[in-house]
Chains A and B, each alone.
Chain A
Amino acid sequence: MSAFKSLSEAVIKGDAKAAVAETQSAIDSASNVQSILDEGLIAAMDEVGDRFSKGQIFVPQMLRSAKTMQECLKLLKPMLQEGNVTTKGKVLIGTVKGDLHDIGKNLVAMMIEGAGFTITDLGVDVPPEKFAQKVQEIEPDIVAMSALLSTTMTAMPLTIEALEQAGVRDKVKIMIGGAPVTAEYARKINADSYASDAGSAVSKAKELLGID
């Protein structure tokens, strides 16, 4: 983190102007793009997620940092596409069938992306078959499902069933979350993990894939 300390600090603070300038100067001084991403941006977002999970910072601050990172990524993207940039893993995310709530799901997607995963967001009201079809198509490492209602969280086991029927259940890890969802429920429906907030979703995702 030391080489990109001021970049990381700007991202943690959510100071987009300073962070973009730091990113540009890192590029100009011919720093390795992967290092700028890993040691500057992702390391900063790890810290943001950690502080959020501990209750030291709050949602608007987390959002601000994530937006700052996105601004920096715009500068890095053209170079990222040329080189071989590694991803921590592929995550497929969506709010389950019958449920239109997207705020929690969006926060989780944003933080997981900020942590260096590649995210595919299916949006809200996603039927089990659509999850299954997309898993077959993009072969993600993790499927993350959100539900905010006691009546819609029952679509989670149905989605797992659809993955089983498609023969892809064992090829992915399943993570679930949302207000009525609990760790106990995750065990009950044979999901692999439960995350209580956007910060812990990142650490749970890493845990599932044996990262760190």
Chain B
Amino acid sequence: MIIVGEKINTSRKRIEQAVREKDAAFIIKAAQEQANAGAHYIDVNAGTFAEQETEYLCWLVETIQGELDLPLSLDSPDPQALSAAIKLHKGVPMINSISLEPDRLQPLLPVVTSQPCHVIALCMAETSMPTTIEERVAVGSKLIGTLTDQGIPMENIYVDPLVQPVSVDTNMGIATLGAIHRIMNDFPGVNTICGLSNISFGLPERHLINRHFLALGIDHGLSAAILDPTDKQLMATLLTTEMLLGRDEYCENFIDAYQEGRIAG
């Protein structure tokens, strides 16, 4: 399971303040903590800065990679911000994300082919958001086709099936889970990824819902997730589910996490 640590996002007040003040120590600590907790990529998002997004996103890349040898997930819908940030990134980054939306697809294709990278392919269609399993699979297939045509290996593609709130339509959970299953089956080697919090919008006990959704996602083939790896209950769900599905030989990851205090019930 590939983990993308989601905490360095300026929609969080404390992060916004740190980025605005260019508090490098605070940001490095936030990245280090997530890496220690098991993150393979550290997501960086400076979206709340609007006009200065590119500048702050680049500052985040240089600040974190100046201290830590970690790949980042460059998180923006803005091709210009991504294009600037990818040039500064050392190693192979994750690009979060590309979609079929015309303002995003065409400007981003040259960016994601400019150097080796992993790409999150968000299942947003040209003019609407998919709702059913079939619509998600159709958009995902089109994105996979477009990216592989550009020479991006299947293994570097992470399809995000688009998570929508179950509070608004109780079929939304199964629509995402079903799409994960179909995409993993139809495209051997591809990855699926998603964030968890959209599923629980409009409901109480959101952490509880997010955790259970993660477990179900893993069971349906989800191979990566964007989450807070310092959330010990969430990580316990992740590691326990993988163990119970026979993906943790000798239960090593689970026991290690227990002995290192990384999980909690």
Contact surface of A with B, Cβ cutoff 8 Å: 58-60, 63, 98, 100-103, 106-107, 124-125, 149-154, 179-180
Contacts and interface: CB of A to CB of B under 8 A. Distances in A.
Contacts of A60: 167-168, 170, 202-203
Nearest to A98: B103
A45 B177 CA distance: 34
Contacts of A106: 168
Contacts of A59: 165, 167-168, 201-203
A154 B103 CA distance: 14
Contact of A58 (B76, B101, B204): B204
A150 B203 contact: no
A192 B11 CA distance: 23
B187 to A, nearest CB: 24
B-side binding surface: helix, strand, loop or mixed? loop
A102 B124 CA distance: 13
Given A100-B129, A124-B128, A125-B127, A150 B50 contact: yes
Given A60-B202, A100-B127, A150 B103 contact: no
A100 B162 CA distance: 13
Given A58-B203, A59-B168, A180-B47, A151 B129 contact: no
A100 B130 CA distance: 10
Contact of B78 (A63, A103, A151, A153): A151
Nearest to B81: A151
Contact of A151 (B77, B164, B201, B203): B77
Contacts of B48: 150, 180
Given A59-B165, A59-B167, A154 B203 contact: no
Contacts of A179: 11
